[in-house]
Amino acid sequence: MAQRKSKKTNSNKTDCSRTGMTLIDLNRCFNEHLFYTQGRLPLSATLNDHYMAAAYTVRDRLLHRWVCTVRDFIREGVKVVGYLSAEFLLGPHLGNNMINLDIFDEVREASENVGRNLDAMLDHEEEPGLGNGGLGRLAACYLDSLATLEIPAIGYGIRYEFGIFDQEIRDGWQVEKTDKWLRLGNPWEIPRPEVTYEVKFGGHTAGYCDDGGCYRSRWTPDRVVRGIAYDTPILGYKVNTCNMLRLWKAEAVESFDFASFNVGNYYGAVHEKVYSENISKVLYPNDEQIQGKQLRLEQQYFFVSCSLQDMIRLHLAIGKSLEYFHEEFAIQLNDTHPSVAVAELMRLLVDEHHMDWDTAWHVTRNVFGYTNHTLLPEALERWPLRLFANLLPRHLEIIFEINRRFLDEVRVIYPDDEARIARLSLIDEQGERYVRMANLACVGSRAINGVAKLHTELLKTTVLKDFYELWPEKFSNKTNGVTPRRWMVLSNPGLTRLIRSRIGGGWIKKLDRLKRLESYAGDDAFRREWQAVKTGNKQALAALILERTGISVNPDSMFDIQVKRIHEYKRQHLNVLHVVTLYNRLRRNPGLDMLPRTVIFGGKAAPSYYMAKLIIKLINSVADVVNHDPAVRNRLKVVFFPDFNVKSAQKIYPAADLSEQISTAGKEASGTGNMKFSMNGALTIGTLDGANVEIREEVGADNFFLFGLTAEEVARIKSEGYDPRSIYLSNPDLREAIDLIGSGFFSRGDPDLFKPLVDSLLYQDEYMLLADYQSYVDCQDRVSEAYRDRDRWTRMAILNVARMGKFSSDRAIREYCREIWRVSPNTVEMEDFGDLVR
Ligand code: GPW
């Protein structure tokens, strides 16, 4: 004990790697922030004061690197990636920044020494939930990898005042609460009140001849809003590159002369202010389902316009001509949400910077890349022409002109193929007219990519088939990845320590090196330690589950987990059918020797998505009955973990034994949760969908539990006429499970409650749960068998982790850099504060 103490004291004097400071220095900075930033003495400081002081102490180290990164940008004119995304689901910053600064362990030890609780501080941080799910989280992983790979990059998005709602469960139903993430202040952002742009809306256009006799269009808006930049530093892992995420907040433009508009109309003026601020007020909580609301288009245009104006200003500031804009910037469109950028860049270049159309179009087509993230028809964005024309009249003109020129080219290649031309057109003219945002993104981009091999193939043969036939060379696949810094090092310190003890820490940046773990799969001692780590993580999750739900679960049972947005295509209700099947077995045979399972669900439903909300209610209702049935005797527990977000995800993935990735084949573009589970030593039960296909390829078919129809079979059966009812009638176990739900057994005798769900399965079954049911249940039986052999299971788990190298977001970003953006790393050298300010 005495010896340990003295070791700790020594480390206080040692250099804290990469900060160039000792722990004593860092501690002084912390106390200074407590004193000078928070205005507190240690004796009166609250947990929030402590958290803020810690955050500012860490932020100072980030800003030092940021300044150096910007210095290089100005000096060396490096090509920059602009990542445009309506969502960034960052998760808490403090722990992650400490990991990337490589000071986590030292700071933890130092905090313990002075009796400060680091975990309480980490826990206290409100996460910025500026995204719905996979798409927003991918953007956050990509920012981490861009910085880690030393690529100059700026993330551009919206600073939503209210992020994704907090989910509460009341009487089994989801209740939405506003997410007031800015309530206690946000130490990670730097407001830039002088970095602002004006964004116009509505009004009309009129033609005129300019001095050179050129026909031009002038847009007179009826509303102007100002965007203000808020910057968040994004530090790479163990490098000095510190990029920025620039988010825009909407404000009223005072100079728009309310006085003359509303003489004596104070209320009207304030109303205008409130109206403008509405734009960045709240994140639309829909995932893969469009709402078609005007405010959403306003949000998209607002952040796109601010971001493009900002990039143009930066470009001009380094003294370059706009003809070369695409040589200095590569702009990625994260799905179609920012795709109005194609028309806006044309407008900025042609109308505001007086560039000729052809040059502007050359620049535009060469600067953008477009990533598609879904095949679901209900997620493909299109805007009613009327709405678009009212809000963005000039952009509609530009889109018509792009379309006219584009279709002229198409007619040359495919003369007389009017059907094809109608499909390729930027305007949908069957019935009510719409602007097709995916078509606009395709026509305006140099590169188009899907997010997993299967998804990209399906894009080429279905939704983007015509574009693929036209420009096959534009298409490529970029399988998604996730950052091992947040999803292993930060969230699973136990596993990280164990892996480091055998193969060092090189894998954190070069995830392929996890391969070196393969040789430990057969090592008994290693497997014991591996199991101990997993058990520890399960105990921690069990404690959290008890705290959040009051349900006590047994850490020795198999943790079978499905966490993701609730969506019918993701088939949480197929998982429920399995649970009910197990329950029926126990009821039929009370003495059954069944492998104990804890089935854990988590995820939010879009507030307007009735079926998804009913699925949440079903899970909770089944949980209620199963968990209270004495006959079950702890062989089966069901948990709905409320408010699944990045913070809780960091506790959940490391505790999983089994990862549920059971979407209907062909529906999940990629999935990224599947990767996070597997990296943390869970085995996957899954369909051949999205990135599951590639995960299985990598980890080996023997180490993956596969079931279900293939995408091809799904399509074939659908086209031949699918009849779920006949499957229901011919499968007694399935019938028993569905009947039990339909009987009111889980709804206090009310047979109507779940009728919409039951009917949708029996009479439509759009996502083919019944077709996959038996294959799923059989596969789950193989899972249980495998789990009984702990050594075999652990060996499989080790091999899963060892073979996950491909799914690092570093690999994905390297591919984007080489094949789409054509950007290369720039190593940032640290310079002393004194030299920098001289
Ligand atoms: F519809 N994804 C998402 F394509 O989380 F835009 N939200 C969305 O709105 C869309 C896609 C959109 C997800 C995909 O469902 C998932 O399969 C994929 O892994 C993820 O995007 C990142 O590519």
Are 692 and 548 members of one domain? Answer: yes
What is d(CA 573, CA 117) in angstroms, rounded to the nearest whole number?
41
The answer as to whether 180 is a domain residue is yes
Q: Whose CA is nearest to atom 1 of ligand 1?
A: 288
State percent of the chain over pLDDT 70: 96
Among 444, 461, 478, residue at a domain's last position: 478
pLDDT at residue number 7? 35
What is the value of ipTM here, to two decimals?
0.99
Nearest atom within ligand 1 for CA of residue 134: 5
Q: Residue 164: CB within 6 Å of ligand 1?
A: no
What are the phi and psi torsion angles at 754 (to 5°)?
-100, 10
Distances from the Cα of 582 to the Cαs of 52, 220, 258, in angstroms?
48, 65, 67
The answer as to whether 494 is a domain residue is no
CATH of the domain at 462: 3.40.50.2000
User: Tokens 């990670």, residue?
Assistant: 188
For Cα atoms 615, 164, 659, give the angle at the middle one, nearest 5 degrees.
50
Q: Whose CA is nearest to atom 21 of ligand 1?
A: 135
Least confident of 34-43, 103-112, 708-717, 718-727: 103-112
The answer as to whether 338 is a domain residue is yes
Are 41 and 138 members of one domain? Answer: no
Q: Residue 134: CB within 6 Å of ligand 1?
A: yes
Least confident of 89-103, 350-364, 621-635, 821-835: 821-835
Least confident of 45-54, 206-215, 719-728: 206-215
Given a cut of 70, is residue 315 above it in pLDDT? yes
Q: Residue 437: CB within 6 Å of ligand 1?
A: no
Are 172 and 45 members of one domain? Answer: no
The answer as to whether 293 is a domain residue is yes
With contact defined as beta carbons under 8 Å apart, do 685 and 662 qualify?
Answer: yes
With contact defined as beta carbons under 8 Å apart, do 87 and 128 qualify?
Answer: no
Each residue of 558-609: pLDDT tens digit? 999 999 999 999 999 999 999 999 999 999 999 999 999 999 999 999 999 9
Mean of the pLDDT values across residues 274-301? Answer: 94
How far is ligand 1, taken at its centre, from the CA of residue 661, in Å?
15
Mean of the pLDDT values across residues 339-347? Answer: 99
Q: What is the domain range of residue 122? A: 1-78+93-126
Are 8 and 154 members of one domain? Answer: no
Nearest atom within ligand 1 for CA of residue 335: 6
Are 105 and 166 members of one domain? Answer: no
Nearest residue to 795 via CA among 598, 561, 556, 526:
526
Mean of the pLDDT values across residues 632-660? Answer: 98
Are 762 and 798 members of one domain? Answer: yes
Question: In what helix (H) or strand (E) does residue 174 lie, and over which residues does it extend?
Answer: strand 173-177
Average pLDDT score, the chain: 95
Q: Whose CA is nearest to atom 22 of ligand 1?
A: 135
Are 182 and 67 members of one domain? Answer: no
The answer as to whether 444 is a domain residue is yes
The answer as to whether 8 is a domain residue is yes
Are 433 and 356 members of one domain? Answer: yes
The answer as to whether 617 is a domain residue is yes
The answer as to whether 483 is a domain residue is no
The total of structural domains in the chain comes to: 3
Which are the catalytic amino acids? 373, 564-565, 570, 672, 676
Each residue of 365-422: pLDDT tens digit? 999 999 999 999 888 999 999 999 999 999 999 999 999 999 999 999 999 999 999 9
Are 87 and 41 members of one domain? Answer: no
Distances from the Cα of 728 to the Cαs of 58, 583, 714, in angstroms?
58, 18, 18
Mean of the pLDDT values across residues 633-641? Answer: 97
Are 688 and 777 members of one domain? Answer: yes
Among 450, 478, 506, residue at a domain's last position: 478
Are 282 and 245 members of one domain? Answer: yes
Mean of the pLDDT values across residues 155-161? Answer: 99
Are 84 and 119 members of one domain? Answer: no
